[in-house]
Structure 1
Amino acid sequence: MKLLRAEFQNFRLLRDLELRFSIDDKKKLTVIRAANESGKTTILHALQWALYGDSALPGKGEGFRLHPIDWDGEADGRRVPITATVEFELTTHRQTGGVLHETRRRYRIVRAAYEEVDATGRRTPSTVRLFALNDTGASPIESPDSFINEELPPELREVFFTDGDRALSFIEADVAQSTKRDRVQRAIRSLLGLGVIEQAMKHVQKAAADVNRKAKQGDASNELKAVASRLEDIDKTAAKLETDLEDAKQQFEAFEGKVEETDRKIASALQKGDKEKLRRDLEHAKREIKQLDDQIVAANKEHSQLFRGKVHDFLGLTHPISCDGDHPISSVGDHLRAMDGVVRGCSDWRSVLVFGGCRGRRGRRAGPGCRTLRG
């Protein structure tokens, strides 16, 4: 499908907008560039609504306002006409006798609805009209919904009509793995056209249910009728559960999308706030480091002064130490080694320091291998 032209009236922000898409074979891409909250996503919703109706709107249209929010009900009326028109081209290829034939057909689809401007926001069911465009004009096509479903299957809608946030949902890290898997599976099923097979299976199940119902109504035993009734109830329950499950999945995805968007906004806000907090934390850490450095410097100075004082006191001894001999010892290292020898030769080293002599634990003098401090 190739989009040719689109026109929207009173669809949310799009009061009266016409878009003409590129049909140039060399310049095939049309880019719509605009500021945030200016209507780009609204155009995407309007295109899908024109083709598929309310089922293509967020939440299937429940509680989703279509009319412009600034609509003046007093001046323009309480009933708002909403219209979306899309012209598109379909290309088909058929091979006949080894020759590939290409056929291009153009169509115009027009979807319209009315919405009340009141607290209820009621909206009438949309009406859709489809026209085949040719050189002579526009010819109406019966059953436009069936035509669209055949040429543009709804299963492919989310594949070809997507936005950046939805595209990122396949790869973003903050989404559950099961959710990613479901999204990829649905995309693959849509591209492969598995919906046709599923519809065929549903038709078979429906036919089987009809057979069971006829068997129950015919001349059959009570047991067969009971089984047929039970099967019919199971089929109805299964169909309802499948529908509920699909609705729950869609609601969950819509809710998850809103949560992701909210998380992104919160993360963005926190990121701005965290920069300021990190700056304050950094300044505080720098101040603490400077205080610790100052304390280390002061402690080093204090320890250095204390050590110099102890060494000075130690070197101020008027008489040298002699251990097992009368040879004087003059160097600091010799003093320390001599002290070590004195302490090792005494039973109580405290008596050496306090009383100037070397005595045992009970006041007895130590052996001849010990010399005391003199003076």
Structure 2
Amino acid sequence: MTAFGNPSRIERLRARMDAAGIDVIVSFKPENSFYLTGFNPIIYSHPVIAILPRTGAPSILVHALRDDHARASSFVSDIRLYGAWSTKVTMGLHWQAALASLLAEAGLASSVIGIEEEFVPLSRYRELEGLLPKATFKDVSGLIMTTRLVKDADEIANARAAARIADVGMDAAIAEVRAGGSERDISLASMAAMNRFWADTFPDKEVCDFGSLEGGAQNGLATWALAGDRMFMNCDNPTPRKPVAGECVSIFIWTIIDGIHAENERTVMVGEQPAENLRAIRSILEIRAELEPLMKPGTPISALFAATKAGLEARGYGKYLPGRIGHGIGLGAHEHPSLDAKTDIPLEPGMIFTLEPNLRMPGIAATQFSDTILITPDGCEFLTQSVGGELIA
């Protein structure tokens, strides 16, 4: 993925480390190690470990077979190797010994070490305790996620690019619905259009997502469509089922550019609709319009949920309240915060989230509308700009 030099997020995170008394962060979570280094190996069959001291140069510990890739991608210059691969010179065969040696070299083996307790397995935590018996471990999961809330300029630029790709995919998906395609046809047409647009428009950008120890995600441009009663499944592999007149189709699109996601979701009506379907769609579109003036710096997230709740209750949908009406988006397709009744975080410029108040009325109607939205100094900017409203095929 493209490197941008030392991003401002590193210094913002270090300020929080200082306030929390954290001497060094040792990050294993793929999204966070990328956040701290700019390197995504795509396949995480060997851990990528980002080491960010409160002061001094950061470093990254990777398996030797990832050496060339890391040096071509990371904005961190201190790249250390473990394992065995060709003629590469490493710090040892295993990451455990290499990490202990690296921290000792930096004088941090007896320090307060921040780890991601929400991600690190218990077995790895015990390994770290054994490797570093004089260290004190503190959870930094929330500290990193809080820093990730406000995006840097490069992240915002990538979100805009990802949103442009999602819009192209939505246009192609809607066209395929109108052509009478199946769920699978709709999804394939959308993904083909997005991949062609990516290749032609963003030749220097990557669309890989974050992998795991058991696999990788070479391409994160994804679309799935669900028709009729399958809309209630929310997420499933598209099938050869074709929507018929009187049904709706939900189209879900996730995209990613250089580590940053966008989301674009729409409901398309196929032919004349039952009155309850049409009323549900119009109600959600009206509520989304009512929320737009509230999407500005200073508004607590809970206020957005409260306004949605009031709008649904006023229209007779009180018993169908969703658990949330959106979520943060960035390195994760779904990340903190949840746009719900309990989250009082005030909106700030640079935050990016999805807005998706929707209805699920089993056996009656379902809606799905979602946009990726950037909070600006004066309000908000819809990064996804696909046609909305009463889409009819």
Which bin holds the TM-score, normalised by the shorter protein? under 0.3
What's the TM-score, normalizing by structure 1? 0.22
What's the TM-score, normalizing by structure 2? 0.21
The answer to which structure, 1 or 2, has the higher relative contact order (CA under 8 A, 6+ apart) is 2
